[in-house]
Amino acid sequence: MNKYDLHSHTKFSDGSLSATELIDLAIERGITHLAITDHDTVKAHLQLAENNYCFEADKICIIKGIEFSSQWNNMGVHIVGLNIDVNSTSIKTAVAHQTQLRLQRVKTIAKKLTQRGFPDITQGAMKLAGDGQVGRPHIAQYMLEEGLVSSVGQAFNKYLGAGKVGDISNVWPDLEQVVEWINAAGGIAVVAHPSRYKMTRTKRRRLMADFSDAGGQAIEVCAGNQVPGVAEEMAIICDEFGFHASVGSDFHNPDYQWVKLGQYPQLPKLCRPVWELF
């Protein structure tokens, strides 16, 4: 029986495992189809190809993916691209664009934090990111290591989370642009964890309508650490807009006990699985 996890991260964004470690864990968990969807980068897939990494094809299928940062109505919204051509011109263009925006964003956040009395966190966060895409988790980790906060959670709750000084979403491209990049790469655009965005049901329906008009094809119906009832609510949205349904843990780190690779609620029976489009 096939087991899918279509949303996961490696050290090339804000995950803790290498691509091969992630794949090994997926095989251990009995996952047959794994999408690696790092934030705004496909380096994990390029590295696997460059190293001629051979996994046991009869045990697991690796689906090439990415998770793009975008904005809709001045809100940050994440769009996953599944089954993309990582060597396509559109993905190369998109990754270069997003990488530049991430550098700009970390400098903007650093400036805002220095105005609050903190030292410049730019270089520290960049060093922690290494070869990966720099993001707020790296800033939070650096702040913790420097004793500027007592925990990563405090960094987000007080400075980096939604509505805080370090919440900079207006640098990202519009949702329509991101969907266009994914479609041009032969992929399937998916709204990631739609229930996590702080918006009313009416506003969420407007987001879904705009996503559909832009050429989006699916939404994550089942995500990691999802509260009961959400999958059924997302299934109704799928039915209303003709979307396919995706599933994924949004795995980052094996130490995070609340999100485990391959673990998410059961997909409601009325949904059309997104893998029908692969």
Q: What does the pLDDT look like over 187-214, one tens digit per residue? A: 999 999 999 998 999 999 999 999 999 9
Q: How many CB atoms lie within 10 A of CB 257?
A: 8
pLDDT band for position 163 (cuts 50, 70, 90):
confident
Residue ranges of domains in the chain: 4-95+170-277, 109-160
CATH class label, 4-95+170-277: alpha beta
Q: What is the edge-to-edge ordering of all strands in the sheet holding 33-36?
A: 4-5, 33-36, 61-72, 75-82, 188-191, 218-223, 244-248
Percent of the chain clearing pLDDT 90 (strictly above): 88
Outline where 36-134 has alpha helix (H).
43-50, 89-114, 122-129
pLDDT digits (tens, 9 = 90+) for 57-109: 678 999 999 999 999 998 999 999 999 999 999 999 999 999 999 999 999 99
CA distance 221 to 37: 17
